[in-house]
Every structure is written in structure tokens, then in C-alpha cells.
Amino acid sequence: MATPARLDLNGKPIDPITICMIGAGGFIGSHLCEKLMAETPHTVFAVDVYCDKIKHLLDAPSGEKPRPWAGRIQFHRLNIKNDSRLEGLIKMSDLTINLAAICTPADYNTRPLDTIYSNFIDALPVVRYCSENGKRLIHFSTCEVYGKTIGSFLPKDHPLREEPEFYVLKEDISPCIFGSIDKQRWSYACAKQLIERLIYAEGAENGLEFTIVRPFNWIGPRMDFIPGVDGPSEGVPRVLACFSNNLLRREPLKLVDGGQSQRTFVYIKDAIEAVLLMIENPERANGHIFNVGNPNNEVTVKQLAELMTEVYLKVSGEPPLDEPTVDVSSKVFYGEGYDDSDRRIPDMTIINRQLGWSPKTSLHDLLQYTLTYQHKTYAEAIKRELAKPSAT
């Protein structure tokens, strides 16, 4: 019996397409490739400098059973900074998705030039090739383009801080509020904002079909790296991997400036559903900027540390530490020029109206899935490392 055609949100059959996915070997790219291979007929040119996180999707070694999606994913190891093959891949595709970026806060103030080049300059040819060749583009921006909330400038106990218009972030209303130039933290947000404006202008002046995604702290398995295991010992990944690393090593979790900043976390698998809806519903997604996050999963970083500790102790069966967290100044942790977004609650009106998407997974459940993965993937390697005699 033939499998029934998959339908878009307007009830039309979805035709298979070819997608050039740049940054496919990263955290989000790996989950998107998995989803596209398992649940759709689309073909992916997976472009990245690394492929460790998508190895399980690429062609099986000879002698092994071919994967069910064999032939639908091709890895192209190339650096988009300097590789002329990029234009050809974009021309051969129906849609380009650009995920490539330096996107770890520890880099923004310590490698601001690399950050600005990666997030703005390196994205320019991608936008140009799409525009010149009449190809659709889904570009990954960030919730960080909103910067700080308006409410953060009010005195601590001011009643207006409780009003949603002073903290909820809306794509078509909220301003982008960054710190001064010496606060180099904002190099990333500013570069992302300018590429958003350029894409928007290409749409307005040259008819580029685009969608801009603003992820709000997507987290889950395969995010970043565990320092000293599958990344540099001195590297500082994003908060999920930092806290996972501390838990795996039975060290106190480090709360930057007391962990008072607030974030909303969304499970990667929920967020990937939203991206698939964008891919398969161009009529509803083109010309839009979408917040993708979970407004119901808001915590302070301190609360996140407490919840991760509670969940991890259950998963690992280990006893609690006497001192589970420790405060550290941002200057010591990140260096000069760090600054922070105070609060990030996404308004969901536009994505809900256009694509009918809303997130499902609670913070507790997503941490349980993710920390079970972290424990299974890394606990043994860390035990072996800690058992080695120290070099001194």
C-alpha cells in the first residue's frame, strides 16, 4: 500500500525538496538532520567543518546494512569563509538553512572579531547567493538581538517591571537594547541584528524569500561539549554543558554574578518541530521573523542549577555535595567586557498564528531526558580521566 502524501498546513501535498544546510554538524543541525531523515523525504547537503554529531546519519561503513535514508544526506566538509563550492551547493538546492556561527558567550568578549566575522561577514555570501539565484533562505539569528529588557532600566521594585510590555519580547514591537561598545558581549547580538536587517532589506528590495529564526535557549543532548572530553579542557560552553560538566565531575556549579539572570529553556525536539513547519510551509513562513522558545519554562540561572542538581542526582544515584553551587564574578568567569541579558520571555503570537506551533515539554522533563543522555555519554569517560594520576 502506498504511504499517504504528507500535507502542509493548507492541506496541500508536500513535495520532496533539496536543502543546503550550513552548520549541519552542530547541535541544532544534528537534530534537524535527524528529523528530516527519519520523518520526511527531503534531501540534505550537510555543510560543516565537523561531522561528529551527524556521523550516525551519514552512509554506513561498507559491509553494514544501509540506513533507511541512504542517499538522502551528503556531508560536504567546507568552511564557508573561503570555499567556492558553496555557491554551487546553494544553486543545486531549493532551500538554504544557515546555522553556521560562533555562538558561545565566552567567545563574544574574548574573540569579538571572530564573532563579528562569523555572524555577519561570513553570512553575507550566503544571503547574496540566495538572493541572486532566487533561492529561499531560513537564517538562524538569536533571541539575543533583543538585548536587555526595557524593565531592566527601572528601579528594582518599580511596579512597571510587572507589566508584560516591559519584559515580554515581541518580534514586531520590542526594541533591540545593547550595552556600550566596550561591553563586547554585544558583538554577537549586534552582528546578528545587522544580518537580520540585511536579509529583511533583500526581501524588501530584491524579493528574497526569507524566514528568520530567533531561538530562545534551545537545549538538549549533543549541545556544545564537555571540556576535556570532547572539547578543549579550558573551553567554556553554554550553561547546560557548563553545569553538566560540574555535575559529572562532582564540582559546585558556578553561578555567574549570583545566577540572578532569567532564561526560558525549550527542548530541542519541540523547537525542531517548529523549524520543520517553517521548511514545509513556505507560504506561511516567508517574510516572517519567529521567536522560538518556551515562555512557560522560565527560571533564574540559580534555579536552573538547583533543578539540574536535583535531576542529575536522581539519574546518577550519587549523593549530594555539601556545597552544590558557588558564586563567581562575571569578570573572573568570562573576562573583561562581559554583560548579560536580564530576562528572555518570547511572545508566541506570531509563530502560533502562522504555524500553529507551541512548545510542549516542561523544564523538568527536558532536563531529565538531557541529563540521562549526559550521564550515559560522559560519566565513564570522566571517571577514567579523574582516576588518572595528575601530571604534577
Among 46, 138, 255, 371, binds ligand UDP (CB under 6 A): 255
183 lines the binding site for ligand UDP (CB under 6 A): no
* Residues contacting residue 354 through CB under 8 Å, at least 6 positions apart: 281, 284, 285, 288, 290
242 lines the binding site for ligand UDP (CB under 6 A): yes
95: which strand partners?
Answer: 19, 136
H or E stretch covering 47: strand 43-48
Closest distance to ligand UDP from the beta carbon of 298 (Å): 12
Which of ligand NAD, ligand UDP, none does residue 140 bind to, with CB < 5 to 8 Å depending on kind? ligand NAD
With contacts defined by CB under 6 A, name the span among 10-18, 59-67, 125-133, 237-245 that binds ligand UDP: 237-245
256 lines the binding site for ligand UDP (CB under 6 A): yes
Is the backbone of residue 240 left (phi > 0), alpha (psi -120 to 50) or beta? Answer: alpha
Which of ligand UDP, ligand NAD, none does residue 25 bind to, with CB < 5 to 8 Å depending on kind? ligand NAD
256 lines the binding site for ligand NAD (CB under 6 A): no
145 lines the binding site for ligand UDP (CB under 6 A): no
140 lines the binding site for ligand NAD (CB under 6 A): yes
Helices 186-206 and 124-132 meet at what angle, rounded to 10? 10
Any idea how long the chain is?
Answer: 392
3-state SS, residue 231: strand
79 lines the binding site for ligand NAD (CB under 6 A): yes
Alpha-carbon distance of 65 to 162, in angstroms, equals: 58
Cβ-based nearer residue to ligand UDP, 85 or 250: 250
280 lines the binding site for ligand UDP (CB under 6 A): no
122 lines the binding site for ligand NAD (CB under 6 A): yes
Which of ligand NAD, ligand UDP, none does residue 105 bind to, with CB < 5 to 8 Å depending on kind? ligand UDP
Closest distance to ligand UDP from the beta carbon of 166 (Å): 19
* Residues contacting residue 296 through CB under 8 Å, at least 6 positions apart: 264, 359, 362
Among 48, 270, 280, 340, binds ligand NAD (CB under 6 A): 48
99 lines the binding site for ligand NAD (CB under 6 A): yes
Which of positions 179-238 make contact with ligand NAD (CB under 6 A)? 215, 217-218
Q: How far is CA 372 from CA 178, 212, 314, in A?
A: 36, 32, 10
34 lines the binding site for ligand NAD (CB under 6 A): no
Whether 188 sits among the annotated catalytic residues: the reply is: yes
C-alpha cell at 295: 515562555
239 lines the binding site for ligand UDP (CB under 6 A): yes
C-alpha cell at 84: 567556492
Amino acid occupying residue 10:
N
Minimal CB distance residue for ligand NAD:
26
- Cβ atoms 235, 226 nearer than 8 A: no
- Strand ranges (DSSP E) for 141-244? 168-169, 210-215, 218-219
With contacts defined by CB under 6 A, name the span among 6-14, 253-261, 266-274, 291-299 that binds ligand UDP: 253-261
Alpha-carbon distance of 328 to 253, in angstroms, equals: 10
244 lines the binding site for ligand UDP (CB under 6 A): no
The closest of 159, 80, 169, 88 to 118, measured between CA atoms, is 80
Quickly list H helices, 335-392: 349-355, 363-387
# of chain residues touching ligand UDP (CB under 6 A): 15
23 lines the binding site for ligand NAD (CB under 6 A): yes
105 lines the binding site for ligand UDP (CB under 6 A): yes
How many other CB atoms are found less than 10 A from the CB of residue 68? Answer: 8
Q: Which residues bind ligand UDP (CB under 6 A)?
A: 105, 144, 217, 238-239, 242, 254-256, 259, 261, 263, 301, 340-341
Catalytic residues: 188
